[in-house]
Amino acid sequence: MSKKVFSSLYFKVLLGIVLGIAFGFIQPDIAVKLKPLGDVFINLIKMIITPVIFCTVAVGIARMESLKAVGRVGGKTLLYFEIVTTLALLIGLVVVHFVQPGAGIHADPATMDASALGKFAHAKQQTTQEFLMGIIPHSVVGAFAEGNLLQVLLFSVLFGMSLSHMGEKPKMAILGTLDRFSNAFLGVVNLIMKLAPIGAFGAITFTIGKYGVGALASLGKLVACLYITSALFVIIILGLVCKFSGINIWQLIKYMKEEIFITLGTASTEAVLPRSMEKMEALGIKKSVVGLVFPTGYSFNLDGAAIYLTMAASFIAQAMDIHLDLQHQITLMLVLLLTSKGGAGVAGAALIALAATLSATNIIPVVGMTLVIGIDRILNEMRAVVNLIGNCVATVAIGRWEKSIDLDRANLVLSGKVDVEDLLDKDVDLDVIDNASPVAAPQPGK
């Protein structure tokens, strides 16, 4: 058992994070130069994300019983996202209002250096028209080349719908090819994941080396406030969603521990997108549901970013002695409902959303972002983890809502009675598993 633990990916990633933190403290100058280790790992994963999304979504849509089912799943997904994201925004706003982490700083906007904001100083709120037009790619090749998840998702849905209208023989021929490509792409992902400990080491040691404990200590109240609020959101809100869906939140977190550690180290959920989708399917959730819900959540279900945005905006207002009355807070919430969408799991995307929010409301000066930009990487680690867990819970919830999850299978896997690695290594077609029968534990030698 101990040999299996020490050889597991999550132990190696955890070890990489611990060593990265230690090295960042001991050799900060060298640690800052190791940032490319994390960047290379994330770029390797990003290289394969769009073809994995295309194959998964297109195959899933083509295998759904009707196009009406596609619209039904999509509608339920967006409704769920909006409700849970709004709850995250409200919780962040309430906690920061009572804790007042920015009170007493008395920051003067006139003395702040706006040049430190760089590209964030010119960020603006995206209009609904601009957002909708941005989903439509100028070319399919461009969407794949640029790695635009929403554009690739749109094309994948349309391609899957087109396949569903084809005759059975040509449709099955194309689906078989896409399935084989999907397996090959996931094989590439598994090879890249072997580098996850190095990527986590490089990313976390850069963070500690560049910002150290000084930045953490000076704004420790905000950091602690965000971390505690995020933990409570996962335990209470997402925990209740899991309970109603028939699974245990702690078992789900344990099941996704490797992906959580990688996200914590790299501060980006993109690094674990393909692997997370594969593990959601291994739970017994239909490919069509996973393909629609999980990648869409990367733009529309950013629970961690939602908590951060309300807390960061309110913190800046408190630090600059700007009073936010009820009308201001409602305005801030309405704007955040729009600006909190579209992050796509990229590290630092929340800062752009924060700048856009402050610019749109004209209540809090954008230059106030200089108060939090120095510790954004530290804050980003927690919000990325919450984003990941939120999307896993959303996939389970929509699967249960659609009756497209084998709960017997899910609970066997989550309880550890079935080794997920055995499922991932086998050619298991989840769409043909009897929804009423549990998955038997693998027998030795089979």
**Closest Cα partner for 398 from 325, 300, 275, 269?**
300
pLDDT at residue 198 is higher than 70: yes
Rounded to whole angstroms, the Cα distance separating 406 from 404 reads 7
Query: Is residue 406 helix, strand or coil?
Result: coil
Query: If you write DSSP's letter for every residue of 303-367 in order, what string do you get?
Result: HHHHHHHHHHHHHHHHHTT----HHHHHHHHHHHHHHTS--TT-TTHHHHHHHHHHHHH-SS-GG
Rounded to whole angstroms, the Cα distance separating 28 from 22 reads 10
Q: How far is CA 348 from the centre of its chain?
A: 13
Instruction: Say which residues have a Cβ less than 8 Å from residue 278's Cβ, sequence separation at least 6.
Output: 186, 189, 424
Question: pLDDT value at position 263?
Answer: 85
Q: Express each pLDDT in 1-42 by its tens digit.
A: 555 556 667 678 778 888 888 888 888 888 888 888 888 877
Band the pLDDT of 436: cuts 50, 70, 90.
Answer: very low
pLDDT at residue 45 is higher than 90: no
Question: pLDDT value at position 127?
Answer: 58
Question: pLDDT value at position 441?
Answer: 40
Band the pLDDT of 181: cuts 50, 70, 90.
Answer: confident
pLDDT at residue 280 is higher than 80: yes
Question: pLDDT value at position 206?
Answer: 82
Question: pLDDT value at position 130?
Answer: 64
Band the pLDDT of 300: cuts 50, 70, 90.
Answer: confident
- The mean per-residue pLDDT over the stretch 255-273 comes to 83
Question: pLDDT value at position 394?
Answer: 94
Question: pLDDT value at position 249?
Answer: 94
Structure tokens that stand for 225 in this block: 């406030």
Question: pLDDT value at position 445?
Answer: 38
Topology adopted by domain 14-429 = Proton glutamate symport protein (1.10.3860)
Q: Express each pLDDT in 210-243 by its tens digit.
A: 766 555 555 677 888 888 899 999 999 999 999 9
Q: Express each pLDDT in 328-378 by its tens digit.
A: 788 777 777 766 665 544 445 677 777 777 776 777 777 777 777 766 777
Task: Report the mean per-residue pLDDT for the chain.
Answer: 77
Question: pLDDT value at position 97?
Answer: 83
Please report, as a single letter, which amino acid is at residue 405: I
Question: pLDDT value at position 333?
Answer: 79
Q: Express each pLDDT in 143-170 by its tens digit.
A: 888 777 778 878 887 888 888 777 777 8
Question: pLDDT value at position 12?
Answer: 80
Map out the domains of the chain as residue ranges.
14-429
pLDDT at residue 439 is higher than 90: no
Its sign, for the CA torsion 219, 221, 222, 226, is positive
Band the pLDDT of 434: cuts 50, 70, 90.
Answer: very low
Question: pLDDT value at position 4?
Answer: 59
Question: pLDDT value at position 212?
Answer: 66
Q: Express each pLDDT in 72-107 by its tens digit.
A: 888 888 899 889 988 998 888 888 888 887 777 676
Q: Is the separation of the CB atoms in 307 and 226 below 8 Å?
A: yes
Band the pLDDT of 440: cuts 50, 70, 90.
Answer: very low
Band the pLDDT of 315: cuts 50, 70, 90.
Answer: confident
